[in-house]
Amino acid sequence: MAKLGSKKRPAVVRVRSMARTQEILKLCTEHGWQVVAGVEPDKPEDISDVKKLLKSGGTEKKVKGKR
């Protein structure tokens, strides 16, 4: 599976305003992460993918399967 924040698996966020979109885009650009942001003022914000990236330092560990 592609790494979260990559072109093949961008972080997906939902925010309530364009101003918040700009904040998230700036943060992701600074870290080199790809993100898809949707503005939906009538729904709760969901930035869980970005939080995961921040917590992991932007990397996901690859788990090798047994052969």
Q: Which helix (H) or strand (E) holds 50?
A: helix 48-56
pTM of the model: 0.82
How far apart (Å, rounded) are the C-alpha atoms in residues 31 and 40? 24
Q: Which domain range does residue 24 map to? A: 11-56
* Sign of the CA dihedral with 4 first, then 9, 13, and 14 last: negative
pLDDT (0 to 100) of residue 1:
86
Look at residue 65 and tell me if it is in a domain.
no
pLDDT of residue 23: 97
Which pLDDT band holds residue 57 (cuts at 50, 70, 90)? confident
Residue 50 confidence (pLDDT) above 50: yes
What is the 3-state composition of the chain as percent helix, strand, coil, each rounded to the nearest 5?
35, 15, 50
Q: How many domains does the chain have?
A: 1
Is 28 a member of any domain? yes
37 within domain boundaries: yes
5 lies in some domain: no
pLDDT value, residue 58: 66
Token pair recorded at residue 47: 């930035």
- The answer on pLDDT for 16 being more than 60 is yes
